[in-house]
Structure 1
Amino acid sequence: MQETPFCLSVGHLLPFTMSESNSTDFTNPSTFILLGIPGLEAAHVWISIPFCAIYAIAIFGNFTILFIIKREPSLHGPMYYFLCMLSVTDLVLSMSILPKMLSIFWFNSREINFSACLTQMYFILSFSAMQSGVLVAMAFDRYVAICDPLRHSTILTNPVVAKIGLTVVLRGVILVLPYAFLARRWPYCRTNIIPNTYCEHIAVVKLACADISLSSYYSLSVVSLIIGMDVFFIAMSYTQILRAIFSLPTKDARLKTFGTCGSHLCVILAFYIPHLFATLTQRFGQNVALHLRVLMANMYLLVPPMLNPIIYGAKTQQIWDRLLQLFTHKGT
């Protein structure tokens, strides 16, 4: 089924001169134009304030997590190795999106090179897939730690953790490659305007003057496969975890054991719930205002990298203790 090029629906957002200047046919645009948040251009400077705060918290928080785990030998274990992987994906996602977004908001720097746009799209998609994979790995770690604690150190050895990490990376790298290859091969015409703050996959390919069904179906298939498979494995892990917890003899033991999963559960909810709403909004929310769809598409990518270090810093006693020690020593 052929999709109508999105360029037809954004012309009313543009000044006549810009629309006219981009009306000539071209098949290999040298640049795309990122509009930012359509309809809210006058408020871009004000909107940049919370986004700048999100960026600062995400960068500082995730680098702090990496620094504490590297510095503290007692934290050199599977759970914290996976947490390091999560922090790396958070950092890459934040740095892939927010610098360009803030340049749009502050300096009206809307142009992005065609190859840079596809590169940004690739990094966002691949590291989002990696982030989901890391959450599965962390769920498996919690399952082994609670359901088979005596064998935890023999099952999740350093080589096994490294293989799991490599699998997560390769899955994200390989499955997302066709996105960029397909986006590059489509002919583009009439406009190079992207009504978003970053090169979102569906917004880019809808500018193509071709039948983009292949890109659309592949995107939907990969998202369904990755999210569906990951949510299934996480649900299976926590089903077994809850069974083990409820079999414990005392309420205190149950609460203490469940508390070791609290931070991971919060991170899972922070990742998958906004992702679900954003996906449904983009696919089926055509009656939702464009600026709300754009905001949702940004928030589901940017909020988890900010929340993850806060959640783990607050709910993981070992990290919290090391953080307090770090600032106490600096203050003395």
Structure 2
Amino acid sequence: MNSVSESFSENNSIVHPEYFFIVGLSGVPYSTYYYIFLFFLYIIAVIGNSVVLFIIVVEPNLHSPKYFAMFHLALADFGETNALIPNIMKIFVFDSQYISFNACLANMFFVHFFSTMQSLTLLVLAYDRFIAICLPLRYHAIVNNTVMSVVFLVLWAFNGCLVAIVVFLIKRLSFCKTNMIPSYYCDHGPVFRLACNDVSINVFMAKLCTALYFVAPFLIIVLSYLGIFFALRKITTWEERLKALKTCVSHLLLVGSFFLPIICIYMVAFVIYLTPNARIISTSLAYAVPPMLNPIIYVLNTAEIKELIRKYIKKRSTQIESVSN
């Protein structure tokens, strides 16, 4: 690899590298098998989320606030998967670990933009379930497609602006030591830590985003379910309680698949020191697995979607039989 100094181009007093070198999984034993595993996760995630998006769009019966939120979660899953895994596979297939400075910032924006939208959408789904169970008589007045449209318009705009600011602040940094990113993509933290000037504003924004996108949503979701459980105690029969709780199963599984891996990584890292390879594998799984699991959870726990898939398969089978005959 060329010396770092040869890859730098200076603009006034700010020094930006022409490219970064993504270390990725180069030091992980048997990394080929892990790349193949990520490729299968990618295929399942893309197909699964595409099916969910298609079904929600074409089926009028699913044009309700709950499925409107599910549509945005599937869209965020689809976007994050395509922003993250193809770049990882490019390193494996083409042995191309170099990425230009601007392309690195673009990769950083889209990965963080879609992953944080997953957290915000899970928060909206928790709000939907809270109103449905705690205030059932006012549900249609409080939660409707118009309200959901406004909520998601605000969330997508707010999220895009905040993530853009976080990424733009990287441009004020000067990189004069190394251009090797100890991660599997252009992650915000590993990138700004390569700078040799003041990064206090970047550290602040990283902590702010962690609080806004992960800590606060998780705490609010926990509080919303405490309210739901208290509301369920007022229901007289166990059958009605289970029926109400059953409507939350899909959301609870989605919340678990998204937040639990992140919480486990931070807890393990707090107790023991994780090697760079261990951090890369654990965080990559935390990013790659939820978009693959979410559409499976939709299908297995949503009677309407399962029934639509059965009807479609039966219709296709009938068409094939009629053509063959």
- Alignment TM-score > 0.5, same fold: yes
The answer on 1:36 being equivalent to 2:24 is yes
- Equivalent position amino acid for 2:94 in 1: F
Q: Which has the higher contact order (CA 8 A, sep 6+)?
A: 1
State the partner residue of 2:204. Answer: 217
The answer on 1:81 being equivalent to 2:52 is no
Give yes or no for contact 1:25–1:190 (8 Å, CA) kept in 2: no
Give yes or no for contact 1:24–1:189 (8 Å, CA) kept in 2: no
Shift of 1:166: 1.4
- The 3-state SS of whatever aligns with 2:17 is coil
1:13-59: CA deviations, max 9, x gaps?
Answer: xxxxx3x622558322121111221412x633221111011101110
Whole-Å Cα distance in 2 between the matches of residues 126 and 212 of structure 1? Answer: 21
- The 3-state SS of whatever aligns with 2:92 is helix
State the partner residue of 1:177. Answer: 164
Give yes or no for contact 1:38–1:196 (8 Å, CA) kept in 2: no
- The 3-state SS of whatever aligns with 1:209 is coil
Shift of 1:319: 1.0
- The 3-state SS of whatever aligns with 1:28 is strand
2:304 to 280, 294, 318: 318
Whole-Å Cα distance in 2 between the matches of residues 247 and 320 of structure 1? Answer: 31
Which TM-score applies when normalising by structure 2? Answer: 0.90
Give yes or no for contact 2:7–2:17 (8 Å, CA) kept in 1: no
State the partner residue of 1:134. Answer: 121
Whole-Å Cα distance in 2 between the matches of residues 38 and 110 of structure 1? Answer: 10
Q: 1:166 to 1:293 in 2, by over 3 A?
A: same
CA RMSD of aligned residues (A): 1.8
Whole-Å Cα distance in 2 between the matches of residues 97 and 128 of structure 1? Answer: 10
- Equivalent position amino acid for 2:278 in 1: L
- Equivalent position amino acid for 1:21 in 2: S
Shift of 1:330: 1.3
Whole-Å Cα distance in 1 between the matches of residues 100 and 316 of structure 2? Answer: 44
- Equivalent position amino acid for 1:238 in 2: Y
State the partner residue of 1:99. Answer: 86
Which TM-score applies when normalising by structure 1? Answer: 0.89
State the partner residue of 1:193. Answer: 180
Gaps of 5+ in 2: 9-14, 319-325
Identity within the alignment, %: 35
- The 3-state SS of whatever aligns with 1:33 is strand
1:2-21 counterparts in 2 under 5 A? 18=1, 21=3
Shift of 1:164: 0.9
1:145-203: CA deviations, max 9, x gaps?
Answer: 11222222222122211111112212311222222122111011232111222111111
- Equivalent position amino acid for 1:54 in 2: L
Gaps of 5+ in 1: 1-17
Whole-Å Cα distance in 1 between the matches of residues 260 and 26 of structure 2? Answer: 25
